[in-house]
């Protein structure tokens, strides 16, 4: 590892940016598909979900990074899930207290963050091997990448499915909304085509 401060800083930027595209959890690694499909009928719940995931990801990465030297290999996953479920409980209670309507709308998908593979993957791949600062930066990069992906998917579905964006009408009156896109069918189809688009773009780059 380089010791000069410039090299260190550029390393951190690289870690932060990796989550946005090169290692984007949804498009590139296919992780955390359940919330991606379930809460993206509109942008607002998708954004709320993204914020919850960032909170849990950062907190659990900090905790795992702090206890990384104490972990026993065979109890590792159990410790990860216990840590994560504690923070998810906190996030759930906060959401219930400050955003009751949103908490109602997201329903069981907030507690389901516990089994979101993105968080366990980052705990395993990054936080259990790296010091705290790197883990926090990695968590932010991954969390923001995840949230952006959710918002793109939700944006496409909301604009075409209801003609609105963030509850504001953006399409002309003559536009007939494709209601199917707000249903489960739309989630699968939109994500399928977005993944294909991501494949084409990454192929062009390389």
- Beta carbon of residue 67, minimum distance to another protein (angstroms, whole number): 17
Smallest CA-to-CA distance from 1 within 134, 123, 127 is with: 134
Q: Which residues 8-37 are close enough to bind another protein by CB under 8 A?
A: 30-31, 33-34, 37
Number of residues that bind another protein (CB under 8 A): 42
Site string for another protein, 147-186 (x = CB under 8 A): ---------------------------------x--xxxx
Segment interacting with another protein (CB under 8 A) among 52-60, 98-106, 116-124, 129-137: 116-124
- Beta carbon of residue 84, minimum distance to another protein (angstroms, whole number): 8
Question: Which residue intervals of the chain are DSSP H helices?
Answer: 5-18, 33-38, 43-66, 76-98, 100-106, 117-122, 132-162, 184-205
Burial 14-49 (b: 16+ CB within 10 A, else e): ebbebbeeebbbbbbbebbeebbbbbbbbbbbbbbb
Smallest CA-to-CA distance from 24 within 12, 36, 11 is with: 36
Quick one: which of 115, 125, 148, 152 contacts another protein (CB under 8 A)?
115
List beta partners, residue 126.
none
- Beta carbon of residue 68, minimum distance to another protein (angstroms, whole number): 20
| Contact call for residue 94 and another protein (CB under 8 A) | no
């Amino acid at each position: 590892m380089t010791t000069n401060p410039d090299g260190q800083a550029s390393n951190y930027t690289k870690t932060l940016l990796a989550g946005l595209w090169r290692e984007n959890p949804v498009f590139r690694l296919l992780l955390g598909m359940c919330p991606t499909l379930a809460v993206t009928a509109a942008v607002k719940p998708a954004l709320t979900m993204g914020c919850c995931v960032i909170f849990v990801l950062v907190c659990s990465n900090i905790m795992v990074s702090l206890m990384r030297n104490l972990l026993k290999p065979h109890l590792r996953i159990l410790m990860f899930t216990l840590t994560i479920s504690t923070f998810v409980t906190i996030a759930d209670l906060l959401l219930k207290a400050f955003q009751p309507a949103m908490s109602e709308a997201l329903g069981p998908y907030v507690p389901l963050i516990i089994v979101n593979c993105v968080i366990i993957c980052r705990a395993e791949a990054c936080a259990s091997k790296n010091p705290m600062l790197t883990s926090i930066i990695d968590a932010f990069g991954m969390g923001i990448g995840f949230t952006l992906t959710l918002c793109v998917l939700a944006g496409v579905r909301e604009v075409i499915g209801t003609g609105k964006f963030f509850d504001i009408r953006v399409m002309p009156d003559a536009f007939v909304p494709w209601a199917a896109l707000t249903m489960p069918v739309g989630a699968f189809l939109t994500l399928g085509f977005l993944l294909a688009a991501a494949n084409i773009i990454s192929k062009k780059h390389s």
